[in-house]
Structure 1
Amino acid sequence: MLRRSLFVCAVFLGVAILVAAGALFAFLPLCSESVIQEAVSPDGRYRAQVSEGGCGVTTGVTTYITVERSFNTLLAKEADVLIAEGDRVSLDARIRWTGPRRLVISWNGSEQVFLYESKALGVSVDYADR
């Protein structure tokens, strides 16, 4: 009888530990994304944004650059213009508007570029290595 009670207590304790660990991991963000830079076009109709995300030291840093039209309305539309991944280091991407519909992106290069657009939502995109 005592062995059975100890077994039930051990199983109950084990289940409680698993539930607590699962709840802890469910609320801890394993991946993160942060906005590095935002820039609004000279006419105020577009916004470009540089974001970086990663999932720890064993993965690369992914850089996303997006252009958004009419960002302050419900009809906002967004398009990716650059998606690249560096080997655990930032691409150090920078954006600047040279006209109402012309965006220049500069960065230090990348190991792998997944998306590289020259035009999006009516905005021309130029690239410059640093």
Structure 2
Amino acid sequence: MEAKAAPEWRVHASIGSILLLNTLTVKLAPAGPWGADSFTLGVFGLIGLAFLYTAWYRLTFKRKGLVPWMDLWENPKDSSRTVIVAGLAIIASAWLAGNVVEEALPKPTGLILTLVGLLTLLNGVYVYLSVGALSDLE
């Protein structure tokens, strides 16, 4: 029986990178039906982040999907610490985006980064507690 090939992730990474770079540097966007090119630019940025997340998921777990189930993690206890640190780093970058470099970024950048950081932190804490203090194994 042949091993199932990992799904392609490079296309998603390329599209996501192009959309995110456009949002942060070039800033090309039509006004759209709502008449605000800045809103369209934000939508492009969110879509770019979604593509980058999908590429990361496919590269990391070698399968299609979006939810990083604990069963997919090779070493949940150590990985959860890394995820917790990443969540805290994203929250710190949200503070920077909202205070230090506020003029260079779109207005809701800090809010979106805070949301992503808190979700990442929640996932890391959940996994850490599930394999540690709250696990059934003794």
Length-normalised TM-score, structure 2? 0.26
Higher relative contact order (CA 8 A, sep 6+): 2
Length-normalised TM-score, structure 1? 0.27
Rg bigger for which structure? 1
Bigger strand share: 1
Bigger helix share: 2
